[in-house]
C-alpha cells in the first residue's frame, strides 16, 4: 500500500476521494489548524438505521499506523458497507499526526476529553452521534512501550475480543506483560466490567475525570467497545497489516456472527 506516515494532508485527500466515489456522507466536525476533522457515514447510517459499526483512528498523533490501516481497509470496500450502518472518523488529530505528538494543537490529550463540550470538536462529535447506536465501536491506537498487540474490551454481547486477537496474532504476537499502563491484562486482553457505574468510577478515580472515547461510546452509543493497540516501535507495514486484520475480524463477526 502507498502510505505517507505522518502526512495528514495526503491521508485526508485520499479519504475525500474515497468518500465521493463511495457515496459517503461527510460531516465536518471542526477545523484543526489548517486541516478538517470529519466524520464519514454510509447511506444506511445517514438514513438513521441503528446497529453496525463505528471506527475511529488518529486520536493520538504519534500513533501513525491506524489511520493508514483504516484507509486501506475502507478502500478495499468491505461488504459490510452495503449491509449495515457504518461511521468512520478517519483522523481525530491531524495536527498531532503531522507533528508526531500524542497531544492535539492545543496541547490536550483528546482521549481524556470526550466528555468536554467546551471543545468545539467534541461538542460537534457528540451532536453528530446523538441519535446513533452501534453494535460495535472500535478505537485504533498504538503504544510505544508495548512489545505485542493488546485489546481493551467492554461488551454486552458475549466476549469476541479473544477471537479478534487470535486473527491478528500471526502478524504481531500478543503482548506478554501482565500489566499495561497500570491495568492487569491476561494474554493481551483486558475485559472491563461492563457496569456503567463502575466505568464512571474508573474515569473518576484513575483518569481524573477525563473520559476516553471508548468509555464514552460504550456509555452512550455502543453495545460493545474495543480499543486495539499495536506496538508503535515495530515495523510500520506489520502494524498497518495488524490493524487491518483486526477490522476484517470485526467485520466478519458483524456480518456472519
Which positions touch Zn ion (CB under 5 A)? 60, 63, 141
C-alpha cell at 104: 492535539
User: What's the closest the beta carbon of residue 127 comes to Zn ion, in angstroms?
Assistant: 24
Question: Which residues share a beta bridge with 88?
Answer: 40, 55
User: What's the closest the beta carbon of residue 111 comes to Zn ion, in angstroms?
Assistant: 6
Q: Which residue has the cell 466524520?
A: 39
As a whole number of angstroms, the distance between CA 26 and CA 49 comes to 17
Query: Of 84 and 240, which CB lies nearer to Zn ion in the complex structure?
Result: 240
As a whole number of angstroms, the distance between CA 72 and CA 148 comes to 22
Q: Cα angle vertex 244, ends 216, 222, to 5°?
A: 20
Three-class secondary structure of residue 93 per DSSP:
coil
Backbone angles phi and psi of 125, in degrees to 5: -60, -45
User: What's the closest the beta carbon of residue 256 comes to Zn ion, in angstroms?
Assistant: 30
User: What's the closest the beta carbon of residue 73 comes to Zn ion, in angstroms?
Assistant: 18
User: What's the closest the beta carbon of residue 142 comes to Zn ion, in angstroms?
Assistant: 6
User: What's the closest the beta carbon of residue 60 comes to Zn ion, in angstroms?
Assistant: 4
Query: Of 66 and 78, which CB lies nearer to Zn ion in the complex structure?
Result: 66
User: What's the closest the beta carbon of residue 81 comes to Zn ion, in angstroms?
Assistant: 26
Three-class secondary structure of residue 25 per DSSP:
strand
As a whole number of angstroms, the distance between CA 178 and CA 185 comes to 5
Q: Burial of 179 by CB count in 10 Å (0-12 exposed, 13-18 middle, 19+ buried)?
A: exposed
Query: Of 229 and 245, which CB lies nearer to Zn ion in the complex structure?
Result: 229
SS3 per-residue string spanning 107-145: CCCHHHCCCCCCCHHHHHHHHHHCCCCEEEEEEEEEECC
As a whole number of angstroms, the distance between CA 248 and CA 257 comes to 13
Nearest to 147 by CA among 29, 253, 249, 230: 230
Amino acid at each position: 500500500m502507498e502510505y505517507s506516515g505522518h502526512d495528514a494532508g495526503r491521508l485526508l485527500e485520499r479519504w475525500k476521494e474515497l468518500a465521493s466515489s463511495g457515496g459517503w456522507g461527510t460531516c465536518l466536525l471542526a477545523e484543526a489548524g489548517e486541516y478538517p476533522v470529519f466524520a464519514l457515514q454510509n447511506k444506511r447510517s445517514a438514513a438513521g438505521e441503528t446497529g453496525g459499526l463505528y471506527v475511529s483512528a488518529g486520536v493520538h498523533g504519534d500513533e501513525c499506523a491506524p489511520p493508514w490501516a483504516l484507509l486501506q481497509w475502507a478502500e478495499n470496500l468491505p461488504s459490510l458497507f452495503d449491509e449495515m450502518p457504518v461511521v468512520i472518523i478517519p483522523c481525530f488529530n491531524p495536527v498531532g499526526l503531522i507533528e508526531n505528538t500524542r497531544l492535539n494543537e492545543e496541547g490536550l490529550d483528546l482521549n481524556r476529553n470526550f466528555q468536554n463540550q467546551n471543545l468545539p470538536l467534541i461538542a460537534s462529535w457528540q451532536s453528530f452521534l446523538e441519535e446513533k447506536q452501534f453494535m460495535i465501536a472500535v478505537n485504533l491506537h498504538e503504544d510505544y512501550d508495548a512489545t505485542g498487540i493488546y485489546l481493551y474490551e467492554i461488551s454486552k454481547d458475549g466476549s469476541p475480543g479473544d477471537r479478534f486477537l487470535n486473527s491478528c496474532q500471526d502478524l504481531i504476537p500478543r503482548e506478554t506483560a501482565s500489566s499495561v499502563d497500570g491495568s492487569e491484562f491476561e494474554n493481551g486482553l483486558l475485559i472491563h466490567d461492563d457496569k456503567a457505574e463502575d466505568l464512571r468510577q474508573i474515569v473518576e478515580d484513575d483518569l481524573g475525570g477525563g473520559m476516553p472515547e471508548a468509555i464514552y461510546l460504550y456509555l452512550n452509543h455502543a453495545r460493545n467497545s474495543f480499543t486495539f493497540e499495536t506496538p508503535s516501535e515495530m515495523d510500520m507495514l506489520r502494524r498497518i497489516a495488524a490493524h487491518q486484520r483486526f477490522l476484517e475480524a470485526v467485520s466478519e463477526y458483524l456480518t456472519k456472527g
